[in-house]
Structure 1
Amino acid sequence: MAGNRALAWAGATAAVGGGVGLALPTAHYLSSRLPPGTAEPDLDLSLRLACAGALALAFALAILTLRRHRAEPLAFTTLTGIAVTGILLRYLVITLPGADQLAPSANVQPASGAWVLLASGLVSAATGLAAAAGAQRAR
């Protein structure tokens, strides 16, 4: 029971931290050095909305876990964590190096928002896996 509460609080904190990460910039770049007409290398709105939806679901599942005193709802945060982590890994591995090749003088690098979101996704996935393992052991 106490383990479920700690996991639920960790999941809720990760979701709130991810929300903060959404408000932070995800790329450092010199906008004056981007070629005209080039899209900004920051995480675009649709991906931010997808991450916000996943984080809101993770937060709701953590609250549901706290109210029901059962780990099963929290186990589903594994999916939300995988979604956020997948979006951020693709962004960090493909999008940012691609933008840097397009405009090397713009010096495109990941910013704090990208790292906070990636950490939030990883913590959500780990929390969900730990809750699933705990629920499996309880059976």
Structure 2
Amino acid sequence: MDQQRPGNRLRGPRAVLVGLAGLGVIAGLTLRTAEYPGALPPGTPDPELDLGLRLVCAAAVLIAVTLAYLTFARHQDEPLAMASLPGLVVTGVILRHLVVTLPGVTRIQPAARVVPGAGTWVLLVSGVAMTAAGLAAAFAVRRAG
């Protein structure tokens, strides 16, 4: 009878967490990423997350889900350890959106009261979850090695 090491029991939950975080990113991409009452004046940049950044987040999800699948297929944590990279990409895109874009819009038109939408928070939590799961897998690989 084979005994499983503690790291082997946690591989599945970490891969499932990465998969769920990927679904969270997809859900976040479909939600509004900025909330603002009323119309913005002409020439004001759209505070929503732009298409290019949405595509980058979608590509990161594809990579993360592929890594989670490889983790199950190979019964190894090494692919999952790389899930921290797409997680960092999603987190970085959303932090850029929060720190650079939204304050810039409110400087142009303070009356618009632009605030992050629900999609921004879902994307941020999902990116952090992917990063954490990938780092946990990396530490498991290091401990096992």
TM-score normalized by structure 1? 0.96
Aligned to 2:144: 138
Q: Equivalent residues in 2 for 1:1-139 (5 A)?
A: 1-32=8-39, 34-139=40-145
**What is the CA distance between 1:37 and its match in structure 2?**
2.6
Is the CA contact (8 Å cut-off) linking 1:16 and 1:59 kept in structure 2? no
**What is the CA distance between 1:39 and its match in structure 2?**
2.3
SS state of the match for residue 125, structure 2?
A: helix
Structure-1 separation of matches of 2:139 and 2:109: 46
**What is the CA distance between 1:18 and its match in structure 2?**
0.8
Is the CA contact (8 Å cut-off) linking 2:44 and 2:105 kept in structure 1? no
Q: Deviations over 1:27-72 (max 9, x none)?
A: 001342x111322100000000001100111011111111111100
Q: How many percent of aligned residue pairs carry the same amino acid?
A: 49
Runs of 4+ in 1 over 6 A off after TM superposition: none
TM-score normalized by structure 2? 0.92
Alignment coverage as a number of residue pairs: 138
Structure 1 vs Structure 2 CA RMSD: 0.9
